[in-house]
Each structure stands twice: as structure tokens, then as C-alpha cells.
Copies of this chain bind each other. A is one copy, B any other.
Amino acid sequence: MPVELTPSQALGLWHSVTLEQVRVDSRDLTLRQMAILLQIYLVPPPHTVRGLAATLGVTKPVITRALDTMGALGLVDRVRDERDRRNVVIKRTVEGALYLEKFGDLIINQGRRLPL
């Protein structure tokens, strides 16, 4: 079920969601961090540093740093892969799921509130 949006609706939605998120949340995730977080929570695991780097089209240190930051915020977790100990598997956390759930609600509510 695709979502059909007019240009005004598309940018208006982004405007109100972004604005509200800035006002409400002190955790100011960058665009890249947000992309990584959504990728981890919306795409079936497993997720690795290398895989995320390839998906986003960025270098591996970018992923490592983003995981450092978001790990400190409790939004993601890292676990060594015991089958191949070179790999690190990125795990979801309860707090991260909660964060995205609230963010999803924000999008939905701002979508409803778009000018008629």
C-alpha cells in the first residue's frame, strides 16, 4: 500500500516532524545515525559494521563511531559473533525500540495534523 503525497504534504510533514523532534528531544542524532538506527530496527538481522557501511555508502569508521554514540545512548548494543569472531553483530535494545516507537507516533500525529 503505497503512500501518495503531494509536494506540499511531503515537505510539510517533514517540516512539522523535524521541528517537533528538535523541540522535544535533546538527543540530536545526525542524519547518518538516524539512517543506521532505522536500518537496524526495520531490516531483519544480522547487521554488521561492514554491511551497514555498504548499505549507507559510507566508510566503516563512520559506522563504528555512530555505534559508539548510539551505544552510549543505549539505543543499540554490540556483540561479538561467536561463529566468526572477526564480526560484530549489532543488537537492538528495548530503549532503542521505544525511541523509534515514539518517533513513529510523532510522524503519525504530525501527518494527521497536516493542513486540510
Residues of A with Cβ closer than 8 Å to B?
1-7, 9-15, 18-19, 21-23, 28-32, 34-35, 38-39, 41-42, 55-58, 100-101, 103-105, 107-108, 111-114, 116
**Copies of the chain in the assembly:** 2
Indicate which residue in B15, B22, B58, B107 contacts A10 across the interface (CB closer than 8 Å): B107
Contact B11 A1 (CB under 8 A): no
Contact A35 B22 (CB under 8 A): yes
Give CA–CA (A105, B30) in the complex, Å. 21
Contact A2 B116 (CB under 8 A): yes
CB distance from A30 to the nearest CB of B (A): 6
Give CA–CA (A100, B39) in the complex, Å. 24
The residues of B that contact A38 with a CB separation of less than 8 Å are 11, 14-15, 18-19
